[in-house]
Amino acid sequence: MSSAVDDARGTATPVTRYVDARRLHPVGRRPWLGRYLHDLWRRRAFIIADSRAKTITTNRDMLLGNVWLIGRPLLDGATYFIIFGLLFGARDGIENFVGYLLIGIFLFGYTSRSLTSGISSIPGGKNLIRTFSFPRAVVPLATWLRESFSTIPTVLTMLVLILAIPPHAPITVWWLLFPAVLLLQTMFNVGLVLYASRFGAAVPDSKVVAGFFSRIWMYGSGVMFSIERLSEGHPAAMAISELNPLYCVLQLARANLLYSSPGDPKLWAVLATWALVTPIFGFLYFWHGEEHYGRE
């Protein structure tokens, strides 16, 4: 960078100044992990503000607005109760089938919405990504936090319903373990959203695939029927089900809230493993694709 100054004889003499470029890096290149985490932490206020704003405006174009956060799982519950509970007899042998079904629908919906939103997060934030320079993980993390905020009223509604609808779930000391189940599910959802975000950025049609996968996952998690009854005589099928993180979430929540039990320790161990491993590998997987987000 050059400029000119006058010497004693009044003659302009060019002066060269240099810019310290040691802290500069090429635009769009993936920064090293420590720097990336530091930049991401600096933008935590934006992540929180963006997720809160989108939580309020998610269903603003609908007549009932955010009432559908609660209304949709209630309609699903009524549908599944008629089809599986009454027509197919799935309620036979299940104590408090209404509470069993409500817990399955509301909690599975939390993870299912996180998956779908994660798939759409990078394509939906493409204009922001192309305009500003920031850690791209901001976008899926804001999506995850938005779904977590939206889940608070739905979980409270679920608790009220299982208390109000006969046969009325009893409040016991084991209810204190339910927040731990919800926390582990939330941690698992972080990694799921990060995985889904990179996949959604790479495959334009992945939202269709996600819907298909979500339905299979729902049936494999025992949302509206007992996996234990269906897998009688098939221990291998039961063993596979117990490795499913959503099956663990639903079974532990039902044990805590409906059946006055702390839940199976093996399911706690499996769910805790998913909750610790999935966010770490999901973040690394997303970070590794940092240079490709927002490109045509």
What tens digit of pLDDT does each residue of 40-98 get?
999 999 889 888 877 766 555 544 555 666 766 777 767 766 766 666 666 777 888 88
Amino acid 92: pLDDT: 75
Amino acid 234: pLDDT: 79
| Nearest residue to 32 via CA among 292, 296, 291 | 291
CA dist., res. 13 & res. 128, Å (int) = 45
Amino acid 19: pLDDT: 54
**CA angle, residues 42, 272, 43, in degrees to nearest 5:** 10
- Taking CA atoms, 44 is separated from 37, 79, 268, 279, 293, in Å, by 11, 40, 30, 17, 20
Name residue 14's beta-bridge partners: 4
Tens of pLDDT, residue by residue over 171-211, are 999 999 999 999 999 999 999 999 999 998 888 778 888 88
User: 4 φ, ψ to 5°?
Assistant: -125, 140
Amino acid 95: pLDDT: 87
SS3 at position 177: helix
Single-letter residue type at 15: V
Instruction: Decide if 261 contacts 255 (C-beta within 8 A).
Output: yes
Residues 6+ apart with CB under 8 A from 155: 106, 107, 110, 182
Single pTM value for the model: 0.82
The position carrying tokens 């089900």 is 241
Amino acid 63: pLDDT: 47
Domain boundaries, the chain: 31-287
Tell me 276's DSSP state: H
Single-letter residue type at 99: G
SS3 at position 98: helix
| Nearest residue to 220 via CA among 263, 249, 262 | 249
CA dist., res. 245 & res. 276, Å (int) = 12
User: 14 φ, ψ to 5°?
Assistant: -65, 140
Question: How many CB atoms lie under 10 A from the CB of residue 249?
Answer: 26
Give whichever of 110-119, 156-165, 176-185, 211-220 has the largest mean pLDDT: 176-185
